[in-house]
């Protein structure tokens, strides 16, 4: 049985009851809490800043998986780490000096991740896959929650898994967007290690039970 992590995305939570929703995640079988940071420039939406992440960190018992959908992320990495980020993921498309940015993240003690938009090919990571702790494959266009899963992601997962195994790298594969009970099994079987689930968890009648069902998807 393959081990994998479930990371509910706080973007889909009820912001008027953030503490309640984070406590629900604390009590659940979730492994990480996924936090999308958007700047209104890299993606057409704006979300959380450092202060909110610091507050989330004070309430959460799970590691914070912080996904920076922002331009010039290298300017803010230390501050996001100080705010409580355990995993910091930057976009390939936003980093002209990606190798340097990976080193910068690792120097803070956080895990270093790279996210790829749906149209960005896996082959672009060939030269530095060994330096990346996590690759986040966007299975929707980044910027908004509740979108439909792009099925072209499946062959991308398999291709990425092949690259990781060929290079004997320890890189984890994360899938972000449109993930739910309907496709979690095939994603994990294709090679996914971390499933980000937003609407599938927070819009469910019983979010804790849904997280449990995601964790048991291959049983």
Distance, in Å, from the CA atom of 197 to the CA atom of 214, rounded to the nearest integer, reads 9
Per-residue pLDDT tens over the stretch 30-42: 999 999 999 999 9
Confidence of residue 144 (pLDDT cuts 50, 70, 90): low
3-state secondary structure of 101: helix
Distance, in Å, from the CA atom of 210 to the CA atom of 12, rounded to the nearest integer, reads 14
CB 10 within 8 A of CB 33: yes
φ/ψ of 117, rounded to 5, equals: -65, 160
- Active-site positions read 36, 176
Query: Taking the model in full, what pTM does it have?
Result: 0.95
Distance, in Å, from the CA atom of 209 to the CA atom of 156, rounded to the nearest integer, reads 29
Positive or negative torsion for Cα 95, 99, 104, 108: positive
Question: All domains of the chain, ordered by start, with CATH?
Answer: 5-215 (3.20.20.70)
Better pLDDT: 139 or 87 = 87
């Amino acid at each position: 049985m393959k081990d994998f992590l479930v990371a509910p995305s706080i973007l889909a939570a009820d912001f008027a009851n953030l503490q309640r929703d984070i406590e629900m995640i604390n009590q659940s079988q979730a492994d990480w809490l996924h936090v999308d940071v958007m700047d209104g420039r890299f993606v057409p939406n704006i979300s959380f800043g450092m202060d909110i992440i610091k507050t989330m960190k004070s309430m959460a018992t799970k590691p914070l998986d912080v996904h920076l959908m922002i331009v010039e992320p290298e300017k803010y990495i230390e501050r996001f780490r100080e705010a409580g980020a355990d995993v910091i993921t930057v976009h390939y498309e936003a980093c002209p000096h990606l190798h340097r940015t990976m080193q910068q993240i690792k120097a803070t003690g956080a895990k270093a991740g790279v996210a790829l938009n749906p149209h960005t090919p896996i082959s672009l990571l060939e030269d530095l896959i060994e330096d990346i702790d996590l690759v986040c494959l966007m299975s929707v266009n980044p910027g908004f929650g509740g979108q439909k899963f792009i099925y072209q992601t499946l062959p991308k997962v398999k291709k990425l898994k092949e690259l990781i195994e060929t290079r004997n790298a320890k890189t984890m594969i994360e899938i972000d967007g449109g993930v739910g009970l309907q496709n979690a099994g095939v994603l994990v079987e294709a090679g996914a290690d971390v499933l980000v689930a937003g609407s599938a968890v927070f819009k469910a009648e019983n979010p804790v039970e849904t997280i449990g069902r995601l964790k048991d998807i291959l049983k």
